[in-house]
Structures are given as C-alpha cells and as structure tokens.
C-alpha cells in the first residue's frame, strides 16, 4: 500500500493549523458554564478556558481588532472531518481571513480530491484570504453566501457568515449532507430549530460552541 496518503495527512494537518501566534478564545454569552468546567486545567494565564484563536503574522489583518476566526481547535476538527467524510464539494459561508477555508482545503488536498468554495462580503477579507489559501483547492468569492450556487450542492457546509444569513443558509443544504453551525453558544442569536423529520443535530459546547447537523436522505 502506498504511503502517499500518510504523507499528505501529516503535511495537510500541519497546514490546517499553521498559525504564528495564539490568542485566548473569548467566552460567548451562553457558554460561561464552560469556564467553570475548566477551572482546574492548564490554560493561558488569567483566561478562563483552554481554547485558542490562531493568529497569522505578516501583513496586518483587515480588522486586527476583531479576531473572529474559528478556534484553532475547530480548524483541527474540521480538517479531520474532511479527511473522514471525503466530500467532493465543501462550502464555507463567511471566509474572514481564510483560516477555516485553508483547513478545509488542506483536508481536500490530503484526500487527493474535492474542493472548497467560500465567500465573504468584505473585499479586503477576500483579497487577504486568497493569499492564505494559495496552493490549496480553495476558491474564494466576494458575494453573499446565499448567492453561492454551490451551497445546495455541497456535501459538507461550514456555516459562519452573519447571523441573519446563517439562519437561511441551512435550508439550502441538500439531503444527505452534513453542516456545521459555528458559534452556537453566542448570545444574541438563536440557533434555528431542528426539523426532526428532516435532520438530526448534536450540539457541542465550547466558548463559542458548534452544532453538527446531518440532513436525512430518504432516498
């Protein structure tokens, strides 16, 4: 058996989590219980939970004061989801600086097939993210995610745009596909109800939290 996949898994995972600095991950409004659960474990000094935000060096970020990219731990998680699920098409809504798009693309690269389409409405973010994702099978567009024609075709969707748009995006995910709702512990927005006839969901806690949802395929 060729060891090429093993080589790609090592290289791809390293690329998925390639950041230069770590910042603590802020706790969202509905997840302060998480801080209490981890009062006894090693973590950043004066910070209440053991999650991290990865930050890139290089050019200044378009919005350096607002580190809203996915947690480093979630980059690792989504990379392995791509490697495990082997999607042909992955869609991300809300690219920001491109860290999650790169992690998803690194997963497709590891598999040897598949591609990522991601969109953001901020031109500066799109330009920056294109550089972050260079060399991976990732296409980044500047448009509202609801206009992505690939969204209804994707096998795996990472939902992470504006809260208003996220609530609509899930309806476009096709039967049989998997989608991940980021920030499900955030204050100020309500994760849409699950239609028990159509999908099933696991809600996973964290300072930001995420929900893993499978749309049923009745065919």
Ligand X SMILES: C[S@@+](CC[C@H](N)C(=O)[O-])C[C@H]1O[C@@H](n2cnc3c(N)ncnc32)[C@H](O)[C@@H]1O
Residues within the interface to ligand X (CB under 6 A): 68-70, 92-94, 96, 99-100, 119-122, 125, 144-145, 160-162, 165
When the beta carbons of 5 and 63 are compared against ligand X, the nearer one is 63
When the beta carbons of 44 and 165 are compared against ligand X, the nearer one is 165
When the beta carbons of 120 and 155 are compared against ligand X, the nearer one is 120
Cβ neighbours for 166, distance < 8 A, ≥ 6 positions apart: 93, 159, 160, 181, 189
Cβ 181 to ligand X, closest distance in Å?
Answer: 12
Cβ 171 to ligand X, closest distance in Å?
Answer: 14
The bridge status of strand 89-93 relative to strand 115-120 is: parallel
Cβ 193 to ligand X, closest distance in Å?
Answer: 21
Q: Choose among 127, 128, 162, 122: nearest CA to 143.
A: 122
> Do residues 212 and 178 make contact, with C-beta atoms less than 8 angstroms apart?
yes
When the beta carbons of 14 and 124 are compared against ligand X, the nearer one is 124
E strands, 148-198, where?
156-159, 178-182
When the beta carbons of 111 and 161 are compared against ligand X, the nearer one is 161
Cβ 8 to ligand X, closest distance in Å?
Answer: 22
Cβ 111 to ligand X, closest distance in Å?
Answer: 20
When the beta carbons of 21 and 37 are compared against ligand X, the nearer one is 21
Cβ 94 to ligand X, closest distance in Å?
Answer: 3
**Spatial distance between the Cα atoms of 72 and 25, rounded to a whole number of angstroms:** 9
Alpha-helical (H) ranges within 42-141 are: 72-85, 99-111, 123-132
Q: How large is the greatest C-alpha to C-alpha distance in the chain, in angstroms? A: 52
Q: List the beta bridge partners of residue 117.
A: 91, 139
Radius of gyration, CA atoms only, the chain:
17
């Amino acid at each position: 058996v060729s060891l090429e996949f093993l080589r790609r898994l090592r290289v791809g995972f390293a690329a998925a989590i390639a950041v230069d600095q770590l910042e603590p991950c802020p706790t969202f409004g509905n997840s302060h219980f998480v801080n209490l659960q981890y009062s006894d474990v090693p973590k950043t000094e004066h910070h209440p939970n053991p999650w991290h935000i990865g930050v890139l060096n290089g050019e200044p970020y378009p919005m350096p004061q607002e580190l809203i990219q996915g947690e480093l731990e979630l980059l690792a998680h989504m990379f392995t989801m791509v490697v495990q699920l082997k999607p042909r098409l992955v869609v991300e809504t809300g690219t920001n600086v491109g860290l999650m798009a790169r992690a998803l693309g690194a997963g497709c690269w590891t598999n040897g097939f598949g591609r990522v389409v991601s969109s953001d409405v901020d031109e500066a973010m799109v330009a920056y993210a294109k550089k972050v994702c260079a060399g991976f099978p990732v296409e980044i567009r500047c448009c509202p995610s609801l206009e992505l024609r690939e969204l209804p075709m994707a096998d795996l969707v990472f939902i992470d745009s504006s809260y208003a748009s996220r609530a609509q995006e899930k309806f476009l995910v096709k039967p049989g596909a998997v989608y991940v709702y980021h920030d499900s512990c955030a204050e100020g927005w309500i994760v849409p109800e699950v239609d028990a006839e159509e999908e099933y969901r696991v809600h996973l806690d964290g300072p930001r939290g995420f929900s893993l949802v499978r749309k049923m395929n009745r065919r």
